Amino acid sequence: MLTDERRALILDRLRTQGRVLAGDLTAELAVSPDTIRRDLRELDDAGLLRRVHGGALPRHGDARPFAVRARRAPEAKASIARRAAACVSDGQVVVLDGGTTTLEVAHALRDDLRASVITTSPPIALALADHPGLEVTVVGGTLRPNALVTVGATAIEALRMIRADIVFLGVCGLHPEIGVTTEDLEERHVKAAMIEGAAEVVALADHDKLGTAMPVVVAPMRAITQLVTDADVDEDALAPYRALGIEVLRA
């Protein structure tokens, strides 16, 4: 494959998947890691993508609407959600971060659960509106139209007053050394406020988010108590998280 053909394929993957991983490209294109690193570096220099640890993202982040992102990896999200929902007990105060995987967690909560759910996501609140045993609180603030979450000082202040039993955190990138990362500074502050008062913090991340990092750091890995991921993750990829004392649950 010619260099231009290879780079066109990388950009096509980025458009359709919202991110690319260097390891996956190396295997798929049968080239060396150095070749992929050079491709990503030069595409970044040309302004066509943004290199991050482990791969690349669209230059301006994944700006696809929430409904479009919800169609990505539906089986993995559903399995992660079922495993995560099983962690919730009656009487708990549960914070559900925004995101397409956390929306699946809301759908997976058992019908007879009695608990309090707090969320910054209007779609999650709507999904739980008819649940008979849940008290649902929507945290106010400024709505991010693509992510469909609330951000800003109002949201942060409200979350800092909550002492949750468990937080389900949607993550954009999760790296054992860099930590939990995202692409939006305003969302970072909201996620950090969720983490501050929580007894347990559960990160929800499918296999292609592990080992990657976005530009904005939310929290170090020591803030995470559990990681729920899908069955496609190689055990070697999970070893660094286990070594940090994080309980890893495979869906």
In tens, the pLDDT along 179-229 reads 999 888 999 999 999 999 899 999 999 887 888 888 899 999 999 999 999
pLDDT per residue as tens digits for the range 148-168: 999 999 999 999 999 999 999
**C-alpha distances out from residue 25 to 20, 69, 208, 214, Å:** 7, 21, 12, 18
Give the separation between CA 172 and CA 187, rounded to whole angstroms: 11
pLDDT per residue as tens digits for the range 215-246: 899 999 999 999 999 998 889 889 999 999 99
When pLDDT is cut at 50, 70 and 90, the band that residue 64 belongs to is low
Fold classification of 3-57 (topology level): Arc Repressor Mutant, subunit A (1.10.10)
pLDDT at 63 over 80: no
Is the CA virtual torsion 85, 185, 152, 69 positive or negative? Answer: negative
pLDDT, average across residues 10-36: 91
Locate CATH 3.40.50.1360 in the chain.
67-250
Query: What was the pLDDT predicted at 102?
Result: 97
Locate CATH 1.10.10.10 in the chain.
3-57
Give the separation between CA 141 and CA 156, rounded to whole angstroms: 9
pTM of the full structure: 0.85
Give the separation between CA 182 and CA 129, rounded to whole angstroms: 28
Give yes or no for a contact between 173 and 181, defined as CB atoms under 8 angstroms apart. Answer: yes
pLDDT > 70 fraction of the chain, expressed in percent and rounded:
98
Query: What was the pLDDT predicted at 229?
Result: 96
pLDDT, average across residues 21-42: 95
Query: What was the pLDDT predicted at 60?
Result: 60
pLDDT at 175 over 60: yes
pLDDT at 114 over 80: yes
CATH code: domain 67-250 is: 3.40.50.1360
